[in-house]
Amino acid sequence: MKRRVAILISGRGSNMAALIQAAAAEDFPAEIVVVISNRSDAGGLQKARACGVPAVAIESQPFGKDRAAFEAVLQSALNEHRIDLICLGGFMRLFTAEFVQRWYGRMLNIHPSLLPSFPGLDPQGQALRAGVKISGATVHFVIPETDAGPILMQGAVAVRDNDTPATLAERILEVEHRLYPDALRLVASGQIRLEGDICKTAGGADSDAILISPAAG
């Protein structure tokens, strides 16, 4: 039976669209049953509906700093749709520790850096200021600390000397669109296990892929 997934968004829903497209495949082990935004003007809502996925807005602004009250309404919507897994796709609202604990091991997020490096805002700018030669994206399980949960999957890109935060973000976004569906597939098919703070892939093949940047010679 396919796992039932909710995608939470706040904006255009770029990663949401990649997940919906991947889940449309008959052999994909999860189905996207609802998209929920905390902003009624989020562009991703209409995009989801155009793909045939129910999309609803639960405005967070009226709740102010009362995160628990907002989460109670959100949880009701998740219960209504019998959700098994949550994917955060640019969801710009912090959760309480209680909500995160309820969904521990079942809520995923994607971040445009190779965590634990460069969490938080402007990760591409952080990477360029640090002078790293490789950056990328990380899918991780959500814990109360921001961008800090067990790492599930990562993808890398070479950083160019003439990169700006915008050009680096564009290339990383291409990786995100490949990475997130693959990560969801692993979780939904039961191939992921958590050992403390470490995430391991059951029966996963070892990879010898190497990325060196800048290339010599």
What amino acid positions are annotated as catalytic residues?
A: 111
Structure tokens at 60: 């967070």
Residue 130's Cβ-count burial label (10 Å; 0-12, 13-18, 19+) is exposed
Distance CA 184, CA 22 (A): 10
20-52 in b/e form (b: 16+ CB < 10 A) is bebbeeeebbbbbbbbbbbbeebebbebbeebe
Is-contact 139 195, C-beta < 8 A? no
